[in-house]
Structure 1
Amino acid sequence: MGVLWELEPATAAKHRLYKRYFDAWWPILLQPSPRTGRSWSKVTFLDAFAGPGRYEGREEGSPVFNLRGLLGHPLVGNMGLSRERVQLVFIEKERAAYEHLVHELHESFGPLDQLPVRVEVRRGEAGRDSERILAELKAWGQPILGVFDSWGNVNTPLSVMGRIAANPASEVIVTFGPNWFSRRKELNEDIVDGVFGGRQHWTHVAAAQDSEEMWRAWLDSYRTALQRVGFPYRLQFEVVPKTGQPLYLVFGTKHPSGVKEMKDAMWQVDKSDGMRFRDPRVRNAISIGQGSLFDEGNVTDPELLTLVQQRLHQGPVSIEQLEQWLLLETSQWRARDAKKAVQALDADGRLARPAGRLTKTSVIRLR
């Protein structure tokens, strides 16, 4: 493989999600709080597997489109950009890719030391060097968004995720490439121990034989690992392109608003090429009527119906509790989607519920 490689369909879909999410993340962190009027003194974005900055078709890599999105953001005038306050850190292991990334950034933005934000391009290995580089740049103690986006190998120790979780308003995005789960027997067990926080947290997952169940089990194990180190809110999902192999992503945040923003970004992504997000817990989706993807009309998505029915199998729940469960515990569904699912299940005769109009306090259960 040369310095540049082809942009995979799943990566292109993931980039659309990133652009939407980063566009929301920057102003939230950099603008003064509407409640207190205060803002953070330093904000750090870390791209730990930065790549060369371009693909074979000249598509922009994440360092380029993220920096471009920040500098050209419609709200940039309210963000208080300065080199002391805002820093973007790009780490790349391979020398040729690192040199190409430096060249691309200079070609696209001019001298980096003259930009209104600090841009640091470092040659290093994400698992070994991220913590040290963040310390050198005095990032600890302030918000960090760490993107650990490796196509092939996930080797960043869980201790790094925990160090990021200890910072206020911080988040992580971790991806697992399509071959990671099938290559589990080739992986260095000591590295996997570090990623999951100990052998006791992953050996039972590695024993799975069915490939369809394997990725679900690994993602759930990693989602639980992020919870252990300090991220109370986590999303896990599969990015499924129309063609090519899927990509698996886990998002950890410290506040429900981060979950809401990520889900809003999902729903704003253009899916005209057939790309979709898939929740790991859905295997055989139930269908009422014709079923469709991401409905906004009269037909309710089978995945949504399946998830709500799974939750109701656990016992009665109020509408408000169901809304919060959908928001915080499912990959893509929002609180407002509870109403559509309840109406569809009720019309199909599957619910036992109080007479009259349903409200947030109404308790429902399966018949």
Structure 2
Amino acid sequence: MGVLWKLEPATAAKHRLYQRYLDAWWPILLQTSQKTGYSRPRVTLLDAFAGPGRYEDGEPGSPVFILKRLLHHDAVDRMHLSPQRVHLVFIEKDRARYEHLLAELDSHFGALRDLPVRVEVRRGEAGRDSLTVLDELRAWGHPILGIFDSWGNVNVPLHVMSRIAKNRSSEVITTFGPNWFSRREELNSDILDMVFGGRAFWAPAADESRPDERWRVWLHTYRDALRRAGFGYQLQFELVPRTGQPLNLVFGTGSPAGLRAMKDAMWKVDDRDGESFRDPRTRGAEPEGQLDIFQAAGLVESELLELVAQRLTIGPATVEKVGDWLLTETARWLPKHALKAVRQMRQDGSVIVQSTGKLTTKSRVSLPAPVRS
């Protein structure tokens, strides 16, 4: 691959997701101190695989659109931007891409030292240098968002993720490129030990022989690694573009509000390219569209029904508890979707409502007893 490359459909959709998420993330952390518990906190965004800043046909890379949307945010006047408060760190390993990124940022924004935020562009390796830069910026003790968007390789040590997880109000996004699951035989076992925290944690995924299940197992294995790193909540989801190969992402956060913000971003993403977000737990029909979850006939999307049924195999639960599970355990579904799903499933006879009266979030539901032959 040269200095520049074409923007893949999955990457374009992922960028829209990042943009929507960051549009919510910045003001949540910077507009007030009451919600975060900080007095004018420092906030650091780390883009650890920054790239050259532009794609082959002129589309902006993540450092450019991240900085541009921050500086032109609707709430910028209320966010009190300053180089002391807001740090953006872009790390790129390849010298030619690093130099291209510097030129690209200068072309768009002029001298970085004159901006109302601090921008650090470093040539280095994500796994080796991320913690060093965060140390230098005295980022610890304040919110950090780490974007580890390597596309082809997931090679950031688990101890890096663990350090961020233990830092207050911090989150990470990691991507698995479309070929990673078929190329994992090429990866050094020592690297896998470093990424997953030891051979015992990733060996079962390596032993998975079914090609159609391999990606699910590896994705779940990495999600479990983020849990062990210290992130209280982890989302795993597959971004499926209309054309091209899917992209897999894992998001780690310590806050239910972070989960809601990420999922809200998914539902707001413009689907003009036909992308959708799929939950790896499901094996049913393809998703029917991110922005219109209900079919014209009023039926609930099949993925949601399948997931609710999976939750009820654990045991009966109130609709409210099912909604909590949808928030914390599924890729894109929110608590508000539980009631609509259970209503549909009751009509289909696939659940039993144990409570009498009107179906509400307090109603207790279960799966029907299996028919004995």
User: Which residue of structure 2 lines up, in the alignment, with residue 41 of structure 1?
Assistant: 41
1:292/1:300 contact within 8 Å kept: no
| Alignment coverage as a number of residue pairs | 364
CA contact (8 A) 2:51 2:61 kept: yes
Partner of 1:146: 146
> What is the Cα deviation at residue 227 of structure 1?
0.8
Alignment partner, residue 364 of structure 2: 363
Matched, 1:78 2:78: yes
Which residue of 1 is the match for residue 92 of structure 2?
92
Query: Secondary structure at the residue paired with 2:145?
Result: strand
1:14-42, Cα deviation, whole Å (9 max, x unpaired): 00100000100000111114558854421
Q: Which residue of 1 aligns with 2:235?
A: 235
Contiguous gaps of at least 5 residues in structure 1: none
- Aligned runs of 1:342-357 on 2, under 5 Å? 342-353=342-353, 354-357=355-358
Check 1:160–1:311 CA distance in 2 against 1; reply closer, same or farther (3 A cut). Answer: same
Tell me, yes or no, if the aligned pair for 1:285 and 1:306 is still in contact at 8 Å. Answer: no
How many angstroms apart in 1 are the aligned matches of 2:321 and 2:299?
23
What CA distance in whole angstroms lies between the structure 1 residues aligned with 2:189 and 2:39?
A: 42
In structure 2, the CA distance between the partners of 1:157 and 1:346, relative to structure 1 (3 Å rule), is same
Distance 1:197 1:104, change over 3 A: same
Deviation at 1:285, TM superposition (A): 4.6
1:125-274 mapped onto 2 (5 Å cutoff): 125-274=125-274
SS at match of 2:173: strand
Residue matched to 1:119: 119
1:272 to 1:212, Cα distance in 2 relative to 1, 3 A: same
Corresponding residue number in structure 2 for 1:65:
65
The 1:306/1:118 distance shift into structure 2, 3 A limit, reads same
CA distance in structure 1 between the aligned counterparts of 2:169 and 2:71, rounded to whole angstroms: 22
Contact 1:47 1:148 survives alignment (8 Å): yes
Task: Return the alpha-carbon distance in structure 1 between the equivalents of residues 14 and 33 of structure 2.
Answer: 29
Aligned-residue offset at 1:85: 0.8
SS in 2 for 1:182: helix
| CA deviation map 1:155-208 (0-9, x unaligned) | 100000000011110000000101111011110110110100111000111111
Among all aligned residue pairs of Structure 1 and Structure 2, give the percentage whose two residues are the same amino acid. Answer: 61
Cα deviation for residue 273 of structure 1 reads: 2.0
Q: CA deviation at 1:214?
A: 0.7
CA distance in 2, matches of 1:154, 1:36: 31
Q: Give the aligned partner of residue 293 of structure 2.
A: 295
Structure 2 residues not aligned, in runs of 5+: 369-373
The letter of the residue matching 1:325 is W
Q: Is the 8 A contact 1:286 1:305 kept in 2?
A: no
